[in-house]
Structure 1
Amino acid sequence: MPQSIMAVYEHGLLRPLEPLTLTESQQVKIQILSEPLADKNGHVVESPQIFSKAERRELADALARGAKKTLSEIVIEDRGQ
């Protein structure tokens, strides 16, 4: 499966900045892109922030507490019923 990671070049070797899901002696193809990689508009391309399951649950709970209508009320309203 394709995987994109950040690595640092030190003392003639590329050191990954995160664990790799590779088997011992597995061959890989490497494409070198200098950082920062910018899009056409000059914005730096960044990976989306990854949240843990607990953080996602906490965020969902906080959003639910702030809701003024139940989900069923929102669905009925969207359907125009």
Structure 2
Amino acid sequence: LTAKYVDEQIAAGTHPQEAVESALKRLADLKGAEGGILALDSGGRIGAAFNAGRFPVVVVVDGRVRKDFEPVNLRHRLGGGK
């Protein structure tokens, strides 16, 4: 259901970064769960965040690795760090 939540948020016009952060907060609040989400919209906007120990992500655009891309670590903000 978390992926559906992200999809609905993006379809409603929410930036993918805001959608994945909101979804992880919701997941932590409802289930106390950890995870990571990578999402993008039809305009090529990217969002990535995690509240687990690690979430390695590589983003490739037009055949090139985006070296400046880093997922947002929400672990301490959402009370993670078990």
TM-score, length basis structure 2: 0.23
Larger Rg: 1
| Structure having greater relative contact order (Cα 8 Å, sep ≥ 6) | 2
**TM-score w.r.t. length of structure 1:** 0.23
Larger strand proportion of the pair: 2
